[in-house]
Amino acid sequence: MNQKHAAFQFVDDHREEMLALWREVVTLESGPHEKAGIDAVGARFRQVLEEAGATCRVVEFAQAGNMLIGELGAKSTLPGVILLGHMDTAIPAGAIAERPFTIRDGKAYGPGVLDMKGGIVAFLYAIKALKAAGYDARAIKVLLAGDEEVLHAHSAAADALVSEAAGHAAAFNCETGFVDNGIVVGRKGIARIMMEVKGVAAHAGNDPENGRNAIIELAHKAIAVQGLTDWDKGISFNVGVIQGGTTSTAVPDHAKIFIDVRYKEPDDLPGVIARVEEVAAKTYIDGTSTKVVLLDGLKPMKTTEGVMKLFELVAAASEENGFGKPYAKYVGGGSDSAYTVIAGVPTVCAMGVKGGRNHSPEEYAVVDTLFERAKLLIASVLKLEA
């Protein structure tokens, strides 16, 4: 039996074990601000990796989920392979009580079941299967971030991803897979911006003429920001949160909005910030002032020649093994694939289990794709040597 068939058989023989781990880690809630939960998930994945023979280390962050790094050595001098993901989810703690891990009609449900705990389970068992089949052509490195959903706002995880990835041959990010069989070769960047207005407080009944309404000032600017969207350039602005005031009986002296910007090219970001600052500079109500703060973000995942070559390899592996013909997909959602590409590593994204409705109570994953995607990863890694 050759290595691929042996590794595929390992996956088939461990289906129930894979499902059990999937259930276990979904039940360990790791919402966007739940450091203890994220680190507990990391500890469980570390145990799986060490059982497979990996050497593991943790990059600790005081205000964010830690990063887990696992390495399975190979004597070969060939550049290694990266398997990439994140352990945090977009679903706050408490959801598991309402929506426990459930399999129904071939679909798995639960917080983070798709984004992206299923994908991590798939690649962990791809690693175990490759090892069981005697694969030793290249070293394998696992990079699992603990704060991707909050854009690494309180950690140096992005820098760590770049430095850890440098020099590798390929990276497979097992982010949310698509039911249409798209494999992601490019992603927009994300910038999160705050615009804050200071006004003058006053009694709304006795002294309104001496107030300067920060909410009204900001309302004009929120509409103007939304209007900055340029579909032709692939740049979109979304005013997603507005806060301000204390009571309806007072003229509000403060208000703020939080803006999500999606952009295609790294060089677009300075222009994006400049356009928001232009909006902020215009005053509608005398006596108010406005400031703009770039809070955090993710870089764009560039579609490089190396990315496309790796996609073609994955697409060929998929067709050869009966998993269908994938197509190259470009999406607006960001991911840590940006940083492996920045490090010069050809990367494909959305290699995880397929499903839909992630970041919502209806999030689901197609169960059989847990095994299919483990096998596609195995086939793709082995095809690097073809």
How far is residue 70's CA from residue 125's CA, in Å, rounded to a whole number?
A: 14
**What's the pLDDT tens digit per position in 233-259?**
999 999 999 999 999 999 999 999 999
Cis, bond preceding 116 (omega within 30 deg of 0): yes
257 contacts 225 by C-beta, under 8 angstroms: yes
Rounded mean pLDDT, 124-128: 98
Residues 111 and 218 in one domain: no
**Owning domain of residue 119:** 3-187+300-383
CATH number at residue 193: 3.30.70.360
Residues 343 and 229 in one domain: no
Number of domains in the chain: 2
pTM: 0.93
Proportion of the chain above pLDDT 90, given as a percent? 97
CATH number at residue 30: 3.40.630.10
How confident is the model at residue 76, as a pLDDT? 79
How confident is the model at residue 136, as a pLDDT? 92
Question: What does the mean pLDDT of the chain come to?
Answer: 96
Task: Select from 298, 329, 354 the last residue of a domain.
Answer: 298
Residues 144 and 46 in one domain: yes
Confidence band for 379, pLDDT divided at 50, 70 and 90: very high
**What's the pLDDT tens digit per position in 41-72?**
999 999 999 999 999 999 999 999 999 999 99
Task: Select from 298, 324, 339 the last residue of a domain.
Answer: 298
How far is residue 32's CA from residue 64's CA, in Å, rounded to a whole number?
A: 9
Rounded mean pLDDT, 269-284: 97
How confident is the model at residue 386, as a pLDDT? 63
Residues 20 and 62 in one domain: yes
Residues 272 and 220 in one domain: yes
Rounded mean pLDDT, 375-382: 98
Residues 107 and 248 in one domain: no
Question: For the CA atoms of 149, 154, 159, 162, what is the dihedral angle to 10 degrees?
Answer: -10
Residues 58 and 168 in one domain: yes
Distance of CA 123 to the CA centre of its chain: 16
How far is residue 210's CA from residue 231's CA, in Å, rounded to a whole number?
A: 41
Q: Scanning the structure block, which residue is given the tokens 């992005």?
A: 158
What are the CA-CA distances from residue 154 to residues 62, 82, 138, 319 (Å)? 8, 24, 33, 41
Residues 258 and 334 in one domain: no
How far is residue 81's CA from residue 110's CA, in Å, rounded to a whole number?
A: 30
Task: Select from 248, 274, 298 the last residue of a domain.
Answer: 298
**What's the pLDDT tens digit per position in 10-45?**
999 999 999 999 999 999 999 999 999 999 999 999
Residues 98 and 54 in one domain: yes
Strand (E) positions, the chain? 55-59, 65-72, 81-86, 102-104, 107-109, 140-146, 170-173, 177-178, 182-187, 189-198, 202-203, 236-244, 250-251, 254-263, 289-298, 327-331, 347-348, 354-356, 364-366
Residues 216 and 290 in one domain: yes
Label the pairing between strands 182-187 and 254-263.
Answer: unpaired
Residues 34 and 71 in one domain: yes
Rounded mean pLDDT, 303-312: 98
Residues 277 and 315 in one domain: no
